[in-house]
Amino acid sequence: MRKISTILCLLLAVAMCLSGCDNQETTDTVDSTSDYVFNTSVESFEDMTLTFGAWWNIAWPEEPRNDAEAPVVNALNALCSTKNLNIDYVKIDYKDYYSTIINSIENGDPVADLFWIESDYLQYFLDRELLIPYSYSTELDLTENKWDEFCTMNSIQYGYVYGVYWGKSVPGYVLYCNSEYVDMDVVENAISAGTWNWDTLVNMVVSMGEVGAKGFGGDFLDAVLATNNADITDIIKANDHAEKMLEYIRRMAAADAIYDDPNLFFDGEAAFYVGKASETWELDSKYQMVTLPMGPDATDYISMTTDYMVLVMAKNSKPYSNIETALNLYTDIMWEYSADTYTSSQHKDITEFFSAAGTKVHRQKVTGYEQAINPFMSVLLEGETSAADLLTMFRLEFSKYPVPDNTTDPSQEITGGVG
């Protein structure tokens, strides 16, 4: 079974926090629905049922089981009672999930109106004309802040949006700092001032290498390139954005400051580690999660993600405009009460940072290129070959991998069909 990223799940309507709460003392619901105002022209959904589908438990209970659940559950109950709406949830085992969804849509009776899919399945559904785009409701505006721009942008086809994600995407890759080696005041002040860049980081790492300390490591190549609006395909195109980032890596390698064992960092023997935000666990207080530095040609802090999930709408479902309007009201509630849904203060901080700055995320476009990248990295990490020469040496090898037409430029505007 493919695993869902911990952070992605946390922001999928906050529903993940429900598991394991059954023994909690029940919290009373509100006495009246008058405290809730729903911004919509729809007076009644006339007993319509809006059904969400997933392969994990996304259901909210009918009654709140603790104080943390109460605001969401009470608001959902008020929405359903005042607008004559029913909300249902379908859980399907992952091994049967996609086949069940597909068969039900093809038979004209979808098991869910809206369902979560992994992004690499989106094209499969589109090719079989199983989805309806989000474009039928004048009340659903996908340019609102609650919708993640990266997921929306990468779900556009034929000028319409087919997949959405409410909430802000936590960056896929972040920089972990060992505060026993790193002056965190320097890093945090630079981030706040917008001056946290690769020159600063590389100088810190090289200085550590000069005294025999290992400073930099992790799963870093794609993540480093992304911070300068580049990815692995830019090596094929001789993009100078990629060349600049390779030169930073070469400088650290030449100082013998790059390590290849991630345990070296988490055992407290190294300064910096590049890894997924979703891979974090209960960190010792000396480990701090921050954004990767800004690339020399970038104007924002950028993170790379290898995967993400989107909510799509089934073809042959009930009136699409009604589904969209109900979804808009549902996600308004989730967005309003999402502040306390993080498992750690570090997750909260990094999410709020990217939300305030505007989420900037690259999606990894090429995978499975280990045969080409391994010799490339071996030469790069020797620290003796310039980035320009490396580009020339390995461009032919990388050219065997097709370059997707879609851009990962996070500044790309959302185009038509967004309501």
Q: Is the pLDDT of residue 6 over 50?
A: no
Q: Report residue 248's pLDDT band, with 50, 70 and 90 as the boundaries.
A: very high
Residues 274 and 223: beta-carbon distance below 8 Å: yes
Separation CA 414–CA 151 (nearest Å):
10
Residue with tokens 């319509």: 48
Separation CA 365–CA 148 (nearest Å):
19
Which residues make Cβ contacts (< 8 Å) with residue 414, sequence separation at least 6? Answer: 142, 143, 149, 152, 153, 156, 161
pLDDT of res. 358: 46
Q: Report residue 69's pLDDT band, with 50, 70 and 90 as the boundaries.
A: confident
**Between 106 and 342, the higher pLDDT residue:** 106
Q: Is the pLDDT of residue 397 over 80?
A: no
Separation CA 283–CA 177 (nearest Å):
11
pLDDT of res. 367: 55
Q: Report residue 372's pLDDT band, with 50, 70 and 90 as the boundaries.
A: low
Residue 208's alpha-carbon distances to 42, 211, 215, 228, 258, in angstroms, are 62, 5, 6, 24, 10
Q: Is the pLDDT of residue 162 over 90?
A: yes
Beta bridge partners of 290: 175
What would you measure as the largest C-alpha separation in the chain, in angstroms? 72
Torsion angles phi and psi, residue 275, rounded to 5: -155, 175
**pLDDT mean over 306-318:** 88
Beta bridge partners of 53: 90, 115
**Between 341 and 233, the higher pLDDT residue:** 233
DSSP labels, 344-364: SHHHHHHHHHHHHH---EEEP
Dihedral sign (CA 30, 53, 146, 329): negative
Q: Report residue 374's pLDDT band, with 50, 70 and 90 as the boundaries.
A: confident
Separation CA 409–CA 165 (nearest Å):
18
**pLDDT mean over 75-100:** 95
3-state secondary structure of 32: coil
Segment among 83-87, 191-195, 377-381, 406-410 with least mean pLDDT: 406-410
**pLDDT mean over 348-376:** 62
Buried b (16+ CB within 10 A) or exposed e, 231-255: bbbbbbeebbbbbbbbbbbbbbbbb
**pLDDT mean over 317-338:** 90
Angle of helix 320-336 relative to helix 70-83, nearest 10 degrees?
150
Q: Report residue 90's pLDDT band, with 50, 70 and 90 as the boundaries.
A: very high
Look up residue 325 and give its amino acid. Answer: T
**Between 391 and 135, the higher pLDDT residue:** 135
DSSP strand pairing (361-363 vs 303-305): parallel
Q: Report residue 344's pLDDT band, with 50, 70 and 90 as the boundaries.
A: low
pLDDT of res. 278: 67
Choose among 366, 309, 341: nearest CA to 94: 309
Q: Is the pLDDT of residue 343 over 80?
A: no
Choose among 398, 412, 382: nearest CA to 242: 398
Q: Report residue 28's pLDDT band, with 50, 70 and 90 as the boundaries.
A: low
pLDDT of res. 312: 97
**pLDDT mean over 43-69:** 90
Q: Is the pLDDT of residue 418 over 70?
A: no
Max mean pLDDT among 17-31, 87-101, 170-184 falls in 87-101
Residues 100 and 343: beta-carbon distance below 8 Å: no
Beta bridge partners of 305: 363
Residues 355 and 365: beta-carbon distance below 8 Å: no
**pLDDT mean over 164-187:** 85
pLDDT of res. 233: 73
pLDDT of res. 202: 96
pLDDT of res. 370: 66
List, as own/partner pairs, every contact residues 29-34 make where C-beta atoms lie below 8 angstroms and the sequence separation is at least 24, other chains included: 29/63, 29/64, 29/70, 29/73, 29/74, 29/77, 30/74, 30/78, 33/77, 33/78, 33/81, 33/82
Choose among 285, 303, 397: nearest CA to 358: 303
pLDDT of res. 338: 67
Q: Is the pLDDT of residue 413 over 80?
A: no
Separation CA 327–CA 17 (nearest Å):
20
Choose among 259, 274, 249: nearest CA to 380: 249
Give the mean pLDDT of the chain. Answer: 80
pLDDT of res. 253: 92
Helix segments in 298-342, DSSP class H: 320-336
Residue with tokens 């007076």: 43
Q: Report residue 258's pLDDT band, with 50, 70 and 90 as the boundaries.
A: very high
